[in-house]
Amino acid sequence: MAPPMAVAADPLGPQVILGFCDLNGASLKAIGSLDAAPGCAASTSLLEFPGLDGCRAAFGDDSGTVEAACSTASVTSIRTKEGQPAQVSIIAINAALPEEQQAAACAAIVNLVAASQAGHRAGGGGGGIPGAAQPCLTVLASTLLQASARAGVHAWCSPAASTLPLASALASPCAPLLPTMPVHDNMLALLQHMATATGVAAVFLLAPGHRPPAGSDAAEESGAGCSALLGAFSPALSSAAAQQAGLSGVVAVQLERAARMTLRAPWFVDAREGARHGVMYA
């Protein structure tokens, strides 16, 4: 039986940035703040993979630019010019997946990225895409970390990313996620394990956070996490490693985009019952 694989309308670029319904919404707000740099072109299409049936879009945007047609999953492809292959692909899993569907969904997405990275490496950059020889998956998320963890964003690199200059540039300002620090989020743990198992070069930037209490304003927690993640990610965009990887001058941070995002389907708390939606942390 063939492994599950997500279906994207456009081939993924060598640099893939992933966000999903994390602990408090910081992940989707962070990637929602990323857009094409001036002079570059961006297009958004739907992403299909197992587990999306019946799910509702978590975040929306009054202008309609962050969420592709109110979709539950999308890929924003950024290229230096129209008609050229994508250099950067931003994947938004804009729906809280049921616990029983999370493993299949993560496998489908990681398998898609693994196939893409293998293709870019095989081409050796010969296809004219900057950074194609050094593809990397970057995951931005907020998670619950143990009390003994250092403050600030933590970074984890898969074995395949250990020698990538971009991985070093992204992780250098962060505290390392030590093996003694468990990842208290089912989706994060699945993505981490599958990236390791499939040989995907991946960097996880994780901001310490908390689940918004019932009846509270989730924007405060998600906004703080988003700011922390972008504070760690943004400096790397101007690094020599990012230029070599094809990120510099292609992706830009626009904080006003995150401010426009509105929570439509809360997944972390049922305000009526105070119940948890899904497994947001173990």
- Measure the CA–CA gap between 170 and 174, rounded to whole angstroms: 8
Class of residue 232 by CB neighbours under 10 A (exposed 0-12, middle 13-18, buried 19+): buried
pLDDT by 10s per residue, the chain, length 282? 566 778 888 899 999 999 999 988 999 999 999 999 999 999 999 999 988 888 888 887 765 544 443 478 999 999 998 888 999 999 999 999 988 999 999 999 999 999 999 999 887 655 567 677 899 999 999 998 765 566 789 999 999 999 999 999 999 989 888 877 777 789 999 999 999 999 999 999 999 887 776 656 677 778 889 999 999 999 999 999 999 998 999 999 998 887 788 888 877 754 333 333 333 333
Residue 63: the pLDDT is 55
pLDDT, position 51: 83
pLDDT number for residue 149: 61
pLDDT confidence of residue 17: 97
In degrees, to the nearest 5, what angle opens at C-alpha 202 toward C-alphas 198 and 204? 130
pLDDT of residue 14: 95
Instruction: Answer for the pair 162, 195: CB distance below 8 angstroms, yes or no.
Output: no
Q: Give residue 55's pLDDT.
A: 86
Looking at this protein, which amino acid is placed at residue 129? Answer: I
pLDDT attached to residue 68? 44
Position 277 scores a pLDDT of: 35
pTM of the model: 0.89
Cβ 140 vs Cβ 17: under 8 Å: yes
